[in-house]
Structure 1
Amino acid sequence: MGAAATALEETRKLPQTIVMYPMTVASQVAQLVMKVQQDVADLVNKGDETLDQLFPSKDEQPEWATFDEDLDDGDGDSMDAGAPHDGERLTEGRFALYSTGEPAGYEDEPAPTATTTATPGVVADLGYESLTLAQLRARLPQLKVPELEALLAYEESTRARAPFQTLLANRITRATAK
């Protein structure tokens, strides 16, 4: 009699069990994947430990490596000549995107006068003189082709910064192709 009662109870629970079955399977699969990842990580750690025992690593610092702790010694010679000093912004290479592209000492040069070039209105409207390359890129979609051409002509007649010229020329090309 007890077996029949148990069979009846399990039969009544069957619809709920069937609904929950996919979730149970998904949970078990996720648990299995995590377990496999942990086992692989353990094997990698054991392999690293074994390799360290067989081939001990050298604690020498490469000559090209510079760490913040090394810069605090006050000698001033630990930084590379190409690295920024005292918060100076890098204007070449991968850092040019976040710079105004002004060469060192540009602040000391006089600003271009109105007699050398006429300043287009879009330059003043955008605050172009103080924009970084990334800021200019963000503002380009709202500009029309004549404004882009005016900016390019202005850039060529004043600072002639290659990244800015390339960005403007490429945007003009894309805008006129549409």
Structure 2
Amino acid sequence: MATAPYGVRLLVGAAVTAIEETRKLPQTILMYPMTVASQVAHLVMKVQQDVADLVIRGDETLESIFPPKDEQPEWATFDEDVDDGPSAPVTDGERRTEGRFALFSDGEPDTAEPEPQDTAPGEAPEIVTELDYESLTLAQLRARLNTLSVADLEALLSYEEATKARAPFQTLLANRITRASAK
């Protein structure tokens, strides 16, 4: 079979393509609004980026011509600007162990001088060394309370009362003993 002339092949190809595109037309019409919306959104974002780039270049140029002044208002103070005077609530870098910050305490007493201990370190109950109680914060102790027996809780409470006597720790232990005993 001989090949058809170039013009005929071109017309047949165009006709088949037109028929295929006509069959796709319903789906294309449905997708067209989304395509247009997507292209418009892309164009808007591109314009915004170009405008932002121009503003940045303008800022850089103006800053090189007119150096910026210190923009901190007189009334604004920041931690690094304030002298550590007697009005500071925390002194000597110690953390508070009472009040609303007690949850984040490091377990050290709030006073500058530690309270005397009535018991020697060797006399501490086993649960104290097992939990490393001395290094626990209030939040860490709270997390471990559910795993302890009433006897362990009472031993910790008596140890706390005999050593550091921190009110938040004593309250936490006493409340847990009450709840555990009620069950």
TM-score (normalised: structure 1): 0.54
Cα deviations by residue, 1:136-164 (Å, 9 ceiling, x for unpaired): 12222221221112212222333321100
For residues 111 and 120 of structure 1, the distance between their equivalents in structure 2, rounded to whole angstroms, comes to: 14
Q: Is 2:99 the counterpart of 1:93?
A: yes
SS in 1 for 2:96: coil
Q: Which residue identity is paired with 1:99?
A: D
Cα deviations by residue, 1:108-159 (Å, 9 ceiling, x for unpaired): x443235xxx632212222222322122122222212211122122223333
Deviation at 1:166, TM superposition (A): 1.5
Aligned 8 A contact 2:118 2:162 in 1? no
What corresponds to 1:67 in structure 2? 79
Q: Which residue identity is paired with 1:90?
A: R
For residues 17 and 126 of structure 1, the distance between their equivalents in structure 2, rounded to whole angstroms, comes to: 71
Q: Which has the larger radius of gyration?
A: 2
Q: Is 2:137 the counterpart of 1:132?
A: yes
What corresponds to 1:146 in structure 2? 151
Deviation at 1:3, TM superposition (A): 7.8
2:25 equivalent among 10, 30, 38: 10
% same residue: 48
1:82 equivalent among 86, 89, 94: 89
* Divergent runs of 4+, >6 A: 1-4
Deviation at 1:66, TM superposition (A): 4.8
For residues 104 and 172 of structure 1, the distance between their equivalents in structure 2, rounded to whole angstroms, comes to: 27
Q: Which residue identity is paired with 1:92?
A: E
What corresponds to 1:169 in structure 2? 174
What corresponds to 2:112 in structure 1? 105
For residues 5 and 131 of structure 1, the distance between their equivalents in structure 2, rounded to whole angstroms, comes to: 75
Aligned 8 A contact 1:156 1:165 in 2? yes
For residues 160 and 20 of structure 2, the distance between their equivalents in structure 1, rounded to whole angstroms, comes to: 89
Unaligned runs of 5+ in 2: 1-14, 46-72
Alpha-carbon spacing, 1:150–1:17, altered in 2? closer, same or farther (3 Å) = farther
Aligned 8 A contact 1:92 1:101 in 2? no
Deviation at 1:61, TM superposition (A): 1.9
For residues 17 and 147 of structure 1, the distance between their equivalents in structure 2, rounded to whole angstroms, comes to: 75
Determine which structure has greater relative contact order: mean sequence separation of CA pairs < 8 Å that are 6+ residues apart, divided by chain length. Answer: 2
Q: What is the number of equivalent residue pairs in this alignment?
A: 131
Unaligned runs of 5+ in 1: 36-58
For residues 20 and 159 of structure 2, the distance between their equivalents in structure 1, rounded to whole angstroms, comes to: 91
Cα deviations by residue, 1:53-79 (Å, 9 ceiling, x for unpaired): xxxxxx4427xx5521334xxxx53x6
TM-score (normalised: structure 2): 0.53
